[in-house]
Amino acid sequence: MTDNVQTYTIDLIPGDGIGIEVIPPAVAAVNALGDAHGFRVNWRERPWGSAFYRAHHMMMPADGLDQMADGDGILLGAVGDPDIADTVTLWGLLIPIRRRFQQYVNLRPSRTLPGVRSPIGDTAFDMMIVRENVEGEYSEIGGRFNQGTREEAAVQESVFTRRGVSRVARFAARLAADRSGTIVSATKSNGILHTMPFWDEIVDEVGAEEGVAVDKVLIDALAARFVLRPQSLDVVVASNLFGDILSDLAAALAGSLGIAPSANLNPEREHPSLFEPVHGSAPDIAGQGVANPVAAMWAAAMMLDHLGQASAARELEAAVFAPLAQGISTRDLGGDCTTEDYSAHVLERLRRV
């Protein structure tokens, strides 16, 4: 028998380390919201990652991407294992997903939250980092030469295309048009001779077309500005590598990497988008049950927004942040909650709404 309940198919990849610990509470929260808001999620469990690699010498099945192509989204925990090269784990799972599904925007919100102490004191900020996600410095072009000799060398090429830069800049500009009207663009066009001046030119063109101001800032000065004046930042657009670094910095300034979510978006919705905490597998705390579930739950809220369930997303955000405001937190934020304790507080709030 079929019913008319809106059903979403989501591929679930807990992955490695603390990913396996923070994804179940995110799923429980989405299921609870589905009951209240009249939607359902068909979770397709994908036990892919480093354990799969040990058994099969690959991070996911050869047809793994095909298996997910008809889904409405992907929720991922973390990728990385201390005994397997990061190049194998990342390039065997997360990066192929981002590329095949043209998830060219990696949207990383970062803001100070009530109850969370920032290492820079009381300065409140609220920014959106728009990271280019499928090209740039993350490239397969290059190689190692003359290995084992005194002439040993490594070459790594960056790839910036007009299409790639303009589409991510346009996403950032349209986001800024609804916010401060300015995009801050991370560059290094004084030292990087070809790609960064190209990036600057295109971001300027797109900014003018979209009617927003463009503030180009050298990445070194921008890193300092993140620490000294984060409140002066709203929408930041950056290349793959710069965006990755800046978003970890922003998360640390907001209080912890454990609270930073991200959405790997295919804005045209031709392919599934992927939602994940910014943090990795954290092998130093994996298996102890102390990981912070906030980032994974917030990422699930971003997924609900993308699916068109905005009111459920707002409810989830409110429930995830509320315990923090009452001084309830996990170890990374100075509290004593386990992952399970903190998740129970969130789920209790969702039940009360």
Q: Which positions touch ligand GGG (CB under 6 A)? A: 78-80, 90, 244, 276-277, 279-281
CB of 160 to ligand GGG, least distance (A): 17
Chain-centroid distance of CA 43 in Å reads 20
3 vs 284 by CB, closer to ligand GGG: 284
The DSSP bridge partners found for residue 15 are 78
Q: SS3 for 342? A: helix
Half-sphere exposure of 232 (CA within 13 A, CB side): 11
Q: Which of 297, 283, 278, 284 is nearest to 339 (CA)?
A: 297
280 vs 293 by CB, closer to ligand GGG: 280
CB of 286 to ligand GGG, least distance (A): 12
CB of 144 to ligand GGG, least distance (A): 21
137 vs 210 by CB, closer to ligand GGG: 137
158 vs 182 by CB, closer to ligand GGG: 158
CB of 80 to ligand GGG, least distance (A): 5
Q: Which residue is nearest to ligand GGG (CB)?
A: 78
Q: Phi and psi of 250, rounded to 5°?
A: -60, -40
CB of 10 to ligand GGG, least distance (A): 16
14 vs 207 by CB, closer to ligand GGG: 14
CB of 328 to ligand GGG, least distance (A): 24
Half-sphere exposure of 195 (CA within 13 A, CB side): 18
50 vs 182 by CB, closer to ligand GGG: 50
Going through the chain in order, the beta strands assigned E by DSSP cover 6-15, 39-45, 73-78, 105-111, 126-132, 142-145, 153-156, 182-187, 213-218, 235-238, 261-265, 274-277
Structure-token pair, residue 152: 């040993």
* Pair 234, 79: CB distance under 8 Å: no
CB of 279 to ligand GGG, least distance (A): 6
113 vs 299 by CB, closer to ligand GGG: 299
| Separation of alpha carbons 14 and 8, rounded Å | 18
Q: Which of 75, 72, 73, 59 is nearest to 24 (CA)?
A: 75
Return the ∠ at Cα 135 (arms to 134 and 139), rounded to 5°: 115
39 vs 101 by CB, closer to ligand GGG: 101
CB of 108 to ligand GGG, least distance (A): 10
164 vs 280 by CB, closer to ligand GGG: 280
Q: SS3 for 152? A: coil
Q: What length is written for the chain?
A: 353
CB of 280 to ligand GGG, least distance (A): 4
Amino acid at 213: A
Structure-token pair, residue 154: 């490594």
Q: Which of 244, 163, 165 is nearest to 204 (CA)?
A: 165
Chain-centroid distance of CA 94 in Å reads 11
CB of 276 to ligand GGG, least distance (A): 4
34 vs 277 by CB, closer to ligand GGG: 277
- Tokens 């043209």 correspond to what residue? 102
